[in-house]
């Protein structure tokens, strides 16, 4: 092998190594820590490893932790707000894609909503939730998450509607079907992959949300992210439990992300690019 070839291989190897260290090591470390016993972690030795499930058992079954409550609230809030957002945006996405309702300005408006910092809405929403008694209530979270899922769901669904050839709809209309019938019987069934992709993307983003959850919940409606971050301050030394809480919290999103890799670019760019 020539010198040049050795340098090339070395360069290649180093970059791959850095990719692993940067993107996989933190995750690997936390998963590893979550399976270590309490004593093994506190000994501060990385050479010994006592496999144990005690962290998971504590986090999930010890009544002293609010973790299962957070898990449950996150599940309810994420899935219901996802379903509601999809239901609200299917007709809107269809109208904008096919009938050009609102033109470019409606799209820009919704797009801007995704890009503006959420803290802008947080303070007035905090006051309004207090006034309506929806603070620390999962219903309040669902309403807010539904709204903040709308931009993603709307723009992604719109891009999927645009992918459906309009000739199918036109032939149905000449057979006497009206717009609502077309949407219900022709477009909706063809939109199924789009509904799955938009739904999963909304779920991932809701499951990750932290600012609103931290502001709008106290005890009853806490989500998994809030509970896990409270662990860090309250259970300062129970590193194993913290690690297992983080591990459980990241599993659904990682599975979902890998499942919809095909549509990831479309989702991340709000339908602007098809990937």
Partner 1 sequence: MRDQLVGIILVVPMLLTIISITLFPLIFSYYMSVHNMTVLNFWNPIFVGVDNFVKALSSSDFWASVRFSVLYMLVTASAELLLGLFLSLFLERTMKGKRLVVSLILIPMAIAPALFGIMIKLMLNEFIGLIPYLLRQIGIRMHFFSDFPIVFTVLVVTDMIQWTPFVFIILYAALHSLPREPIEAAYIDGASGWQVIRYVKIPMLWKIIALVTVFRVMDALRAFDTIYVLTGGGPGISTTTVSINIFKVALIRGDFGLAAASTVIFFYLSMVVLSFGLRTLRRGGVL
Distance CA 119, CA 116 (A): 9
Rounded to the nearest 10 degrees, the angle between the axes of helix 138-163 and helix 119-132 is: 130
Q: Taking a C-beta distance cutoff of 8 angstroms, is the pair 198, 130 a contact?
A: no
CB of 117 to partner 1, least distance (A): 4
CB under 8 A: which stretch of 59-67, 158-166, 189-197, 257-265 binds partner 1? Answer: 257-265
The only residue of 66, 80, 86, 92 in contact with partner 1, by rule CB under 8 A? 92
The only residue of 48, 62, 101, 171 in contact with partner 1, by rule CB under 8 A? 101
Distance CA 237, CA 41 (A): 10
User: Which contacts qualify for 176-185: CB closer than 8 Å, 24 or more apart?
Assistant: 179/99, 183/90, 183/91, 183/94
Within a 10 A sphere around the Cβ of 110, how many other Cβ atoms? 21
Nearest CB to partner 1, comparing residues 122 and 195: 122
Q: With binding defined as CB under 8 A, does residue 243 bind partner 1?
A: yes
Site string for partner 1, 137-176 (x = CB under 8 A): ------xx-xx--x---x----------------------
Q: With binding defined as CB under 8 A, does residue 187 bind partner 1?
A: no
CB of 99 to partner 1, least distance (A): 4
* Residues 118-137 interacting with partner 1 (rule: CB under 8 A): 118-128, 130
Structure tokens at 85: 């957002």
Nearest CB to partner 1, comparing residues 9 and 171: 9
Distance CA 219, CA 221 (A): 6
**Size of interface with partner 1, in residues (CB under 8 A):** 94
Closest CA to 244 of 25, 21, 32, 14: 32
Q: Residues 132, 134, 136, 142: is their CA dihedral positive or negative?
A: negative
Q: With binding defined as CB under 8 A, does residue 69 bind partner 1?
A: no
CB of 115 to partner 1, least distance (A): 4
Give 126's contacts (C-beta < 8 A, 6+ positions apart).
Answer: 135, 215, 216
Q: With binding defined as CB under 8 A, does residue 211 bind partner 1?
A: yes
Q: With binding defined as CB under 8 A, does residue 221 bind partner 1?
A: no
* Residues 29-58 interacting with partner 1 (rule: CB under 8 A): 29-30, 33, 41-42, 44, 46
H or E segment and range at residue 79? helix 67-94
Q: With binding defined as CB under 8 A, does residue 208 bind partner 1?
A: yes
Q: With binding defined as CB under 8 A, does residue 259 bind partner 1?
A: no
Distance CA 39, CA 48 (A): 10
Q: With binding defined as CB under 8 A, does residue 228 bind partner 1?
A: yes
Nearest CB to partner 1, comparing residues 95 and 164: 95
- Looking at the DSSP assignment, which residues form a beta bridge with residue 93? none
Q: With binding defined as CB under 8 A, does residue 188 bind partner 1?
A: no
């Amino acid at each position: 092998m020539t010198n040049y070839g050795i340098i090339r291989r070395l360069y290649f190897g180093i970059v791959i190594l850095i990719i692993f260290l940067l993107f996989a090591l933190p995750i690997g470390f936390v998963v590893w820590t979550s399976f270590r016993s309490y004593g093994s972690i506190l000994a501060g030795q990385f050479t010994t490893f006592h496999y144990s499930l005690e962290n998971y058992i504590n986090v999930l079954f010890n009544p002293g932790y609010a973790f299962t409550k957070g898990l449950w609230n996150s599940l309810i809030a994420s899935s219901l707000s996802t379903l509601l957002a999809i239901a609200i945006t299917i007709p809107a996405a269809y109208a904008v894609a096919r009938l050009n309702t609102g033109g470019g300005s409606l799209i820009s408006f919704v797009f801007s909503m995704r890009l503006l910092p959420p803290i802008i809405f947080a303070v007035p929403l905090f006051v309004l939730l207090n006034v309506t008694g929806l603070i620390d209530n999962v219903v309040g979270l669902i309403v807010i998450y539904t709204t903040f899922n709308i931009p993603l769901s709307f723009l992604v669904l719109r891009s999927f509607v645009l992918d459906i050839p309009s000739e199918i709809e036109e032939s149905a209309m000449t057979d006497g079907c009206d717009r609502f019938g077309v949407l219900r019987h022709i477009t909706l069934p063809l939109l199924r992959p789009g509904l799955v992709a938009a739904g999963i993307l909304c779920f991932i983003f809701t499951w990750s949300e932290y600012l609103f959850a931290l502001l709008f919940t106290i005890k009853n409606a806490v989500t998994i992210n809030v509970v896990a971050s409270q662990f860090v301050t309250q259970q300062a030394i129970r590193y194993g439990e913290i690690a297992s809480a983080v591990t459980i919290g990241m599993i659904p999103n990682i599975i979902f992300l890998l499942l919809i890799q095909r549509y990831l670019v479309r989702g991340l760019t709000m339908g602007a690019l098809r990937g």
